[in-house]
Amino acid sequence: MKINNVGVTGVNPYNLQANKAGNIKESKANAKDKVEISSAAKEMQQLSPIPAARQAKVDELKKQVENGTYKLNAQATAKGLIDFYRK
């Protein structure tokens, strides 16, 4: 004996799944990335500006690196690392 149309008629679970997958693809296509910076983060940026002397030193080092005249002192770098981690 064969029983047809048991339960909800006309429901095809494969069609339902395909429709869900199609909706997800459409929503991803319309989505855009957005970044928001909180007011607290903006305040923190304004409260700690880089001092002019430090910025001048950074600019000088950038010029030296770009020109190829920057010389690295390996011993001073190693000493600075050791002193930092001994604290």
Residue 61 host element (H or E)? helix 52-67
31 within a domain of the structure (yes/no):
no
Structural domain harbouring 70: 50-86
- Taking residues 72-82, what's their average pLDDT? 95
57 assigned to some structural domain: yes
Domain count, the chain: 1
Quick one: pLDDT at residue 16? 64
Let me know if residue 75 belongs to a domain.
yes
Q: How confident is the model over 29-56, as pLDDT tens digits?
A: 667 888 898 999 888 877 766 777 888 9
Answer yes or no: is pLDDT of 86 > 90.
Answer: yes
Take residue 53 and report the two structure tokens written for it. Answer: 């002397």
H or E element at residue 77:
helix 74-86
Q: Is residue 17 part of a domain?
A: no
Flag whether pLDDT at 74 surpasses 90. Answer: yes
Assess if residue 65 is contained within a domain.
yes
Does 19 fall in a domain?
Answer: no
Confidence at residue 66, expressed as pLDDT on a 0 to 100 scale: 95
What pLDDT score does 27 carry? 60
Note the pTM of the prediction, 2 decimals.
Answer: 0.36
In a domain, 55, yes or no: yes
**Is residue 23 situated within a structural domain?**
no
Question: pLDDT grade, residue 85 (50/70/90)?
Answer: very high
Note whether 76 and 84 are within 8 A (CB): no
